[in-house]
């Protein structure tokens, strides 16, 4: 189930992160709420031009990703494209900000924004920070105001009356 994770050391790019509880991608749990959150980020960020390139985070020739809570081939392709294009922009594969290019959005484990095996930043964290870079911290704090935000996630991510 998707949830909001307060950060112990909030920074200028994130005060908290919207995270998944189960992995999203080929052969994963793909819980509806988790898939909706990942699809939302991928859809909103997809058309954005990757810094330092002419490319986008959207698979070539594709129509915008549906935000339907079903992790099909288009969602998996969008995850892989995001990871690949982000890594092109970062460059050095030894850099810790490089993403594991496995086509999976893994949950945070033991409070760390880094993967246990890869020791690289998790894709779900990078989706959050890229959203902030694109739209600003104030909008990241209230992603529910985004016209593409899936309404059924509201009660999972925000306290009633917030």
Tokens coding 73: 């081939």
At 77 the pLDDT is 92
Q: At 157, is the secondary structure helix, strand, or coil?
A: helix
Cβ-contact 38, 75 below 8 angstroms: yes
Tokens 């985070």 locate to: 57
Question: What pLDDT, in 10s, does the model give residues 42-74?
Answer: 999 887 666 666 666 666 666 889 999 999 999
At 107 the pLDDT is 93
CA distance 121 to 108: 10
List, for the chain, all residue ranges whose pLDDT scores fall below the cut of 70.
Answer: 7-12, 48-62, 92-96, 114-115, 117-119, 159-162
Tokens coding 16: 């908290």
At 54 the pLDDT is 65
Q: At 79, is the secondary structure helix, strand, or coil?
A: helix
Pairing between strand 16-19 and 3-6? antiparallel
3-state secondary structure 80-136: HHHHHHHHHHHCCCCCCCCCCCCCEECCCECCECECCCCCCECHHHHHHHHHHHHHC
At 103 the pLDDT is 93
Q: At 17, is the secondary structure helix, strand, or coil?
A: strand
Cβ-contact 80, 63 below 8 angstroms: no
At 78 the pLDDT is 93
Kindly list the domain boundaries of the chain, sorted by start residue. 3-157
């Amino acid at each position: 189930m998707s949830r909001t994770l307060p950060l112990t050391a909030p920074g200028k790019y994130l005060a908290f992160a919207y995270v998944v509880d189960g992995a999203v991608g080929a052969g994963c749990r793909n819980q509806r709420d988790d898939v909706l959150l990942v699809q939302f980020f991928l859809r909103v960020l997809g058309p954005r031009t990757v810094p330092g390139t002419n490319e986008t985070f959207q698979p070539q020739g594709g129509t915008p990703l549906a935000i339907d809570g079903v992790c099909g081939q288009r969602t998996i392709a969008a995850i892989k494209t995001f990871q690949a294009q982000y890594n092109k922009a970062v460059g050095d594969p030894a850099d810790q900000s490089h993403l594991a290019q496995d086509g999976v959005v893994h949950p945070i484990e033991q409070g760390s924004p880094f993967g246990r095996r890869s020791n690289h930043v998790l894709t779900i964290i990078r989706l959050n920070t890229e959203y902030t870079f694109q739209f600003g911290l104030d909008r990241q704090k209230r992603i529910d105001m985004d016209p593409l935000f899936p309404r059924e996630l509201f009660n999972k991510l925000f306290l009633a009356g917030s």
